[in-house]
Amino acid sequence: MSIITIIVIFLLSFYFLEVFSYIFLLTKFKNRSYEKLNTLGKIFQYLSLGNLLILIFFTSNFLQFYFPENFSYFRDLWGWFSLIGLIFIIGGSRIMYLVKKLVPQKKSKLITKGIYGIMRHPTYLALILISFGSAIILDSITGLLLIPLVLVILEIVCLVEEKYVLLVKFQSQYQSYKEKIPSRLFPNPYNYLLIIISILVMYIGILNIIGGI
C-alpha cells in the first residue's frame, strides 16, 4: 500500500468520524443550550473544511513528484478550468463573509434576511464551493470524485441540524421559514448551473484521461 493511499484512507476515516460524531452529539444532546450546539456546529464546519482541503492538497497533481499515483485530470486544459475553480472559491468565500456579517456573536435569533433569504444553510454551500474550486485548481481527481459524496453527507447534516436543533429552538418560526425558503443549499436556478458545470468538468476530464492513455 502506497503512502498516498494511507494518507487518503486516514483523512477520509477522520472526516467520516467527524460527521458521525457531530450527528451523534446533536441527537444525544438535543436538549442542551442552543448556543453550545451552535458552537459545536461551527467547530464541525471548520474541521470539515480543513480536512477536505488537506485531502485535496495531498492528492493534487502538483505533488506527483512525491506521490507518483497522483495524475492530472485536466492536463492541458488545467489553466482554463483553474479560472472556474477560482470563481467557485471566491463565491464560497463571499458567502462565508455574508454569513459572518449577518450572524450575531452573542444573541441567538433566527436570521431570515440577506443570504438566509435565499437558502437555509449557506455555510455548507460555501464549504462545497470552496472544496470544489480547490479540487479543480489543485487538479485533484480524488477531491473531484469526493465532492458529490460530501454534498450528500452535508444534506443529511442539514436535516439533522434542523430536526434536533433549529426546530427545537425556534419551533413554528423555523417551520414557517422552511416553507418560505425551500432550498437548503442550492436555490434555483443555481443548482442547475452547478450540475451543468459539474457534468462539463467530468466530461472534459474523462476525455483528457482517455486521450492521454
The type of residue at 211 is G
Q: How many Cβ atoms from other residues are within 10 Å of residue 100's Cβ?
A: 10
Span 139-143, mean pLDDT? Answer: 88
Cell of 19: 460527521
Residues 25-78 have pLDDT tens digits of 888 876 677 777 778 888 999 999 999 999 999 999 888 778 887 777 777 778
Alpha carbon 125 to its chain centroid, in Å, reads 6
Residues 75-88 have pLDDT tens digits of 777 888 899 899 99
CA dihedral 185, 186, 188, 192 (to 10 degrees): -160
pLDDT band for position 177 (cuts 50, 70, 90): very high
Closest CA to 138 of 203, 71, 196, 48: 71
| pLDDT of 11 | 93
Check pLDDT > 90 for residue 131. yes
Domains and CATH numbers, the chain: 3-212 (1.20.120)
Question: What is the pTM (predicted TM-score) of this model?
Answer: 0.86
Q: How many whole angstroms separate alpha carbon 160 and alpha carbon 151?
A: 14
SS3 71: coil
